[in-house]
Amino acid sequence: MSMSIRQRSLRYGPGVHSSHLGTQTSLAASLVLLALGIAVVAVLGPLVAGVIRYHVSAGAMNQIRGGDIAVLIFAVPMSLAAASLVRRGRTAGPVLALGPSIYSVYMYSQLALGGDILRYPGNSERFFFLYLAIFILSGWIALEAWRMISYQVLPPISGRLRRVFGWFTLVVGFFLVFGLHLPGLMDAWSSRPVGPEYLADPVVFWLVKFMDLGLVVPAVTVVAVGTLRNRPWAVKAAYAVGVWIALLGSSVAGMAVVMQVTDDPAATVANTVAFGSFAVVAIAIAVALLAPVLAVPEEDGEP
């Protein structure tokens, strides 16, 4: 028997009535379209068919292949699972939708804008509207999923998990600034830059720096501090950031593995092990965050 409006309203939280239920079907359908779109890009890209040829160096192409592996293994199934949960009116639906949607906004804007069309051959510009559609769709999904979630009905995050997530997220932000981006910036600002990523793909280099330092680091830092201080608004944000970091970690690990297998000059065993370990920890934290939400019974909220 289908749930009543009141039952589903309670599922999503106070004040969520027909306005949210009216978008439930469209959100589920959008998540299916997102899964299809990112799967098509991954299959048409250098990982499988090679139909999409990006204007990047061989090293950056290996990184794209690694990212596509993470998309097919994690982001596509997660989007489909979120669609199923949203369609059934489960609290976990919009919560799970935050991860792949935010990840897609981040990744496909870089794929659309990061190539050097004058330096490297390719045809990725012909797929511009596909990337744009994924970007717009992902942004809408993220905003709608965020709007549908009320922190009052989310299971509380345990004190121990809050501390683990908060400090791990702060470490991620610290590493992005001081371990990853600042050394590259110092090299790029020098009179004779030698960094292979900057010299081979300067457009990608500056785009990633701009997005990570201007958007990602401030966002994860604010969420980490809010979570450690047990602020109510940080509960929803913790799910979004936690799943996004897990997807990003999987993508980076995939890149490292592909670079190692293809004997990329920039690849090292130490980096592959480090990024793989980071991905495992990030996934474990994301699973720990999502498990209580996924465990909410379907008939929860019944009067």
Quickly state the pLDDT bin for 219 (edges 50, 70, 90): very high
Choose the weakest-confidence range: 63-72, 75-84, 270-279: 270-279
Could you tell me if 201 and 116 are in contact, meaning their C-beta atoms sit under 8 angstroms apart?
yes
Q: Which residue has the tokens 């702060």?
A: 170
Residues 6 or more apart from 284 whose CB is under 8 A from it?
none
Residue labelled with tokens 């997530």: 165
- Indicate if the pLDDT at residue 17 is higher than 60: no
- Which pLDDT value is given to residue 261? 86
pLDDT band at 200 (very low <50, low <70, confident <90, very high): very high
Residues 6+ apart with CB under 8 A from 65: 45, 46, 47, 254, 255, 258
143 membership: H or E segment, kind and range: helix 128-148
Per-residue model confidence (pLDDT) at position 245:
92
Residue that wins the pLDDT comparison between 7 and 136: 136
Identify the band that residue 128 occupies on the pLDDT scale cut at 50, 70 and 90.
very high
Quick one: CA torsion of 128, 39, 45, 111, rounded to 10 degrees? 40
Q: How many degrees, rounded to 5, is the angle at CA 81 between CA 31 and CA 287?
A: 120
- Alpha-carbon span 263 to 39, nearest angstrom: 26
pTM of the model: 0.87
Q: What is the pLDDT of residues 220-270, one digit of tens each?
A: 999 999 999 999 888 889 998 999 999 988 988 888 888 888 887 777 788
pLDDT tens-digit series, residues 80-112: 999 999 998 888 999 999 999 999 999 999 999
| Alpha carbon distance 12, 20 (integer Å) | 9
